DNA sequence: CGATGATGAGCAC
DNA sequence: TGCTCCTCATCGC
């Protein structure tokens, strides 16, 4: 479940359940065993998310656990200290009081990083809409000087940290932006719309644990349509709705692979723009 | 460039 | 039963 809202949500859960408490740290699967042992018996200090990257610090340990979920990684929290070791658990974190078990499976990255390495990783990232210190001007400057399509830029972690396939498709739809528009031709108002969508929608994703992007007038309750059924659970306009009617105009939603990822958009609501030569 | 791999839920067939 | 996938580093051509 890996867009930035998941990482930030998990950071909150780790802090809630483990921060300030001594932990058991193991790697039932074995691949993280030596590193996990460094945290074993320590007091957990803090988990922090930067985009899709998660860092966990413990007292008296210089290095931090660095986790990137990739496409498949998942966290599972339970209040059961005897939770069966089902599947390949890369990292298991437990505390006694109150009882809590956290299991991490299938991450792209799970390793210890020195403070210098942590800084190098976070320094590569663009502004994260879920962090209060995020500076959107950094993202605008990068978009403003390239001919790369805006749909690709929205997924570039050096432009927006934490944004993934769903939020990019939905933000572009909500602002009726042609996904193939070169970044340098994006209008300032369009950029502001994208950024404000990320800063409004992603915190809702952190809070609810699902991605909802439809305006009140397009919800199932407002229109009488059936709720969406998909693994991600949220109400969206175009993501993974290829061939189905657009919720606004009825046009079949389009799908095209671009940059190795599936892009969903509506050709009617997000028409190919007239040639643009001047930014405003 | 494209292929590969971490891994398992959810859904189509 | 099999395919997809909210990702991205790495490898080979």
pLDDT for position A278: 52
Mean pLDDT for all residues in chain A: 91
Nucleotide of closest approach to A166 (CA, C1'): C6
Residues lining strand C at under 7 Å (Cβ) are A 1-3, 5-6, 51-52, 68, 70-72, 108, 155, 157, 164-166, 211, 231-232, 240, 260-262
Could you tell me the pLDDT band of residue A276, with boundaries at 50, 70 and 90?
confident
Task: Quickly give A239 CA vs C5 C1' distance in Å.
Answer: 12
Tell me if residue A107 falls in helix, strand or coil. coil
Task: Quickly give A58 CA vs B1 C1' distance in Å.
Answer: 42
pLDDT for position A47: 95
Nucleotide of closest approach to A2 (CA, C1'): C6
Q: Where do you find CATH 1.10.8.50 in chain A?
A: 136-265
* Bases on strand B under 7 Å from any protein CB: 2, 5-12
Q: What is the mean pLDDT of residues A137-156?
A: 93
* Bases on strand C under 7 Å from any protein CB: 5-9
Nucleotide of closest approach to A242 (CA, C1'): C4
Task: Quickly give A228 CA vs B9 C1' distance in Å.
Answer: 17
pLDDT for position A229: 63
Task: Quickly give A87 CA vs C1 C1' distance in Å.
Answer: 20
Which pLDDT tens digit goes with each residue over A3-16?
Answer: 899 999 999 999 99
Which listed CATH number (3.30.930.10, 2.40.30.10, 3.20.190.10, 2.70.70.10) goes with A4-123? 3.20.190.10
In this structure, of A130-144, A177-191, A218-232, the range with the lowest mean pLDDT score is A218-232
Question: Which are the catalytic amino acids of A?
Answer: 2-3, 52, 261
pLDDT for position A184: 93
Which pLDDT tens digit goes with each residue over A44-64?
Answer: 999 999 999 999 999 999 999
Task: Quickly give A22 CA vs B3 C1' distance in Å.
Answer: 43
Q: What is the mean pLDDT of residues A263-280?
A: 80
Long-range CB pairs of A70-75 (<8 Å, 24+ gap) are A70/A2, A70/A106, A70/A107, A70/A108, A70/A109, A71/A2, A71/A108, A72/A106, A72/A108, A73/A2, A73/A104, A73/A105, A73/A106, A73/A107, A73/A108, A74/A1, A74/A104, A74/A105, A74/A106, A75/A10, A75/A13, A75/A102, A75/A103, A75/A104
Beta bridge partners of A113: A64
Q: What is the mean pLDDT of residues A103-113?
A: 91
Nucleotide of closest approach to A231 (CA, C1'): B10
In this structure, of A177-181, A227-231, A269-273, the range with the lowest mean pLDDT score is A227-231
CATH of domain A136-265: 1.10.8.50
pLDDT for position A226: 81
Which pLDDT tens digit goes with each residue over A172-191?
Answer: 999 999 999 999 999 999 99
Closest by alpha carbon to A11, among A53, A71, A61, A39? Answer: A53
pLDDT for position A253: 93
Task: Quickly give A176 CA vs B10 C1' distance in Å.
Answer: 31
Q: What percent of chain A has pLDDT over 90?
A: 75
Q: Where do you find CATH 3.20.190.10 in chain A?
A: 4-123
pLDDT for position A277: 60
Q: Is residue A280 pLDDT above 60, yes or no?
A: no
pLDDT for position A72: 86
Q: What percent of chain A has pLDDT over 70?
A: 96
Tell me if residue A110 falls in helix, strand or coil. strand
CB contact at 8 A, A249 and A219: no
Q: Is residue A1 pLDDT above 50, yes or no?
A: no
Nucleotide of closest approach to A161 (CA, C1'): C7
Closest by alpha carbon to A256, among A170, A193, A179? Answer: A179
Expressed in angstroms, the distance from the first to the final Cα of chain A is: 37
In this structure, of A99-103, A125-129, A259-263, the range with the lowest mean pLDDT score is A259-263
Residues lining strand B at under 7 Å (Cβ) are A 29, 31, 70-72, 74, 86-88, 90, 105-106, 108, 229-231, 260
């Amino acid at each position: 479940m890996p867009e930035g809202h998941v990482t930030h949500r998990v950071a909150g859960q780790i802090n809630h359940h483990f921060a300030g408490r001594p932990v058991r740290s193991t790697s039932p699967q074995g691949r993280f065993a030596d590193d996990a042992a460094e945290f074993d018996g320590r007091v957990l200090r803090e988990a922090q998310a930067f985009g899709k990257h998660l860092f966990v610090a413990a007292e008296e340990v210089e290095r931090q656990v660095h986790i990137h979920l990739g496409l498949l990684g998942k966290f599972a929290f339970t209040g059961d200290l005897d939770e069966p070791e089902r599947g390949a658990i890369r990292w298991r974190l437990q505390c006694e009081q109150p009882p809590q078990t956290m299991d991490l499976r299938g991450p792209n990255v799970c390793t210890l990083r020195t403070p210098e390495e942590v800084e190098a990783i976070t320094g590569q990232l663009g502004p994260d809409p879920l962090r209060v210190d995020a500076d959107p001007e950094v993202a605008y400057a990068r978009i403003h000087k390239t001919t790369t399509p805006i749909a690709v830029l929205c997924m570039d972690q050096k432009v927006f940290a934490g944004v993934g396939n769903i939020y990019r498709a939905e933000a572009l739809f909500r602002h009726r932006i042609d996904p193939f528009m070169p970044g340098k031709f994006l209008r300032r108002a369009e950029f502001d719309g994208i950024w404000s969508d990320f800063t409004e929608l992603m915190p809702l994703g952190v809070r609810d644990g699902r991605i909802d992007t439809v305006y009140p007038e397009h919800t199932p309750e407002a229109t009488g349509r059936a709720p969406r059924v998909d693994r991600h659970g949220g109400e969206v306009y175009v993501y993974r709705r290829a061939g189905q009617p657009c919720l606004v105009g009825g046009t079949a939603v389009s799908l095209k692979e671009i940059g190795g990822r599936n892009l969903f958009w509506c050709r009617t609501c997000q028409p190919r723009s007239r040639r643009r030569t001047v930014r405003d």
